[in-house]
Amino acid sequence: MRRFAGLLLAAALAGAAAQAAGAPQTHTVADGHTLGRIAKRYNISIEALCNANGISRRDAIKPGQKLVIPDRDDKDGTDARRQRPQTESAPAALARAVVNDAQLTPPRESPDAEPEAPPKAAGDNAEEPESKPISSDGMHALEVPGAGTAYYYEPTGPGRKSLRPVIMYLHGRGGQPRTDCKRWAPVARKLGWLVCPSGPGARGDGRGWNNNWGSAHQAAMATIHALRSRYGRRVQLFGNTIMGFSEGAYAALNVGVREPRTFNRWLIMAGDAKYLGGPGIEALSGAGNQLRRVYLITGEQDGVIEGTRQIERWLKHAGVATRVSTPKGMGHEVALDDKAGMYRAALVWLDRG
């Protein structure tokens, strides 16, 4: 008994020493725990808890997982995040190694920590800069350094001023991002920010990605961070949805597979298996554990439908929850005017994953 009491005393002293050294408090997740219950227990906000641990409020937590608990004075969890031990899971390390070996995206110092958004004059809590809509329906334009103009809509509905996910649309070849964004707005805005970057290539009256997913990768990530820079923590950095049609599907697949933490939900329209290629398939084998859900939509009369089914097989083999719709009478198109409900249902399914 004395030995046991001594061990308890030593553990208590070690804990006190750790607290004195500034080590953050941690919580071990048990069965039935949710982010909301944990935040309430420690009298902190869910946003602070998520920020401290580099996760989004939609990410799943598992029994045995350790979460850093920010102090009550650390209102947004920033201090706790900086003190959090930087560890990397084996699957995450594998995914990063695959990407880096193929020279697909530069490594980060800590893939498990939320990267800092470009600073504002007075930090993320500063008053948002004025951004006037460029159309009567609330569309805005955002000049993205190195990536041209992106068009976007703010979220609508309850919670629109709090942290919300991003739904990014990559247009097809010859697409017009401003027009496309306007078409998607009624379908997507209730679920989060709708953002539509512009491809670098001129295609008649529209834009294209020049069959270069690298330019789409640059535009997608630069757009996310430019929006975050403007609106602060209203813009979610991780757990977002990327969607694309045709050449935009090629871009979205390759961006998503290389940024599965930023975009862990995909809506791929008219996607073909050849869009991924060997390096993309290899990256998928490492990214599958981070992807939440993928929805594939290809018309029954579209020539790439067999390629879409192959993508489905690859995703399911990687353990990714996947759904496929092949509407009858539909070809190589985005039929938002006739089938808005189908696309809305797909986005809702992705959002609930």
Q: How many domains does the chain have?
A: 2
Write down which residue in 42, 59, 83 finishes a domain.
83
**Separation CA 253–CA 271 (nearest Å):** 8
Q: How many CB atoms lie within 10 A of CB 256?
A: 30
Name residues of the chain where pLDDT drops below 50.
1-21, 86-126
Query: Has residue 6 been placed in a domain?
Result: no
Query: Has residue 239 been placed in a domain?
Result: yes
Query: Has residue 4 been placed in a domain?
Result: no
pLDDT score, position 84: 65
Query: Has residue 168 been placed in a domain?
Result: yes
Taken in order 27, 31, 36, 37, the sign of the CA dihedral is: negative
pLDDT score, position 130: 62
115 with 263, same domain: the answer is yes
172 with 204, same domain: the answer is yes
Query: Has residue 328 been placed in a domain?
Result: yes
177 with 148, same domain: the answer is yes
Query: Has residue 10 been placed in a domain?
Result: no
Reported in sequence order, the residue ranges of 64-211 that DSSP labels E, i.e. its strands, are 66-69, 140-144, 148-153, 166-170, 193-196, 201-203, 206-208
Query: Has residue 205 been placed in a domain?
Result: yes
Query: Which residues constitute the domain of residue 62?
Result: 16-83
Write down which residue in 83, 101, 117 finishes a domain.
83
Reported in sequence order, the residue ranges of the chain that DSSP labels E, i.e. its strands, are 25-28, 66-69, 140-144, 148-153, 166-170, 193-196, 201-203, 206-208, 240-245, 263-269, 293-297, 321-325
Enter the tokens of residue 134.
């460029």
pLDDT score, position 23: 61
50 with 97, same domain: the answer is no
Write down which residue in 39, 56, 83 finishes a domain.
83
Residue 282: which residues within 8 A CB-CB, separation 6 or more?
98, 102
76 with 99, same domain: the answer is no
Q: How many CB atoms lie within 10 A of CB 89?
A: 12
142 with 28, same domain: the answer is no
pTM recorded for the entire structure: 0.67
pLDDT score, position 285: 87
Amino acid at 271: G
